[in-house]
Amino acid sequence: AAYPFEDSSTLVRPEDIVLPYLYLLGPDSRGITGQRFDCQA
């Protein structure tokens, strides 16, 4: 947790939001430009 009294069970797990980032970093997203993506859960 980032803060002492923060409930870590309410935080989004990295594995729950990583897929869009992996797609954008990979070859399948080649040519995708000028767009905005909402990758938060």
Q: Which tens digits make up the pLDDT trace of 1-41?
A: 678 888 988 888 889 889 989 999 999 999 999 999 888 76
CA atoms of 24 and 39, how far apart (whole Å): 11
User: What does the pLDDT read at residue 23?
Assistant: 93
- Four-point Cα dihedral 24, 26, 31, 32, nearest 10: -10
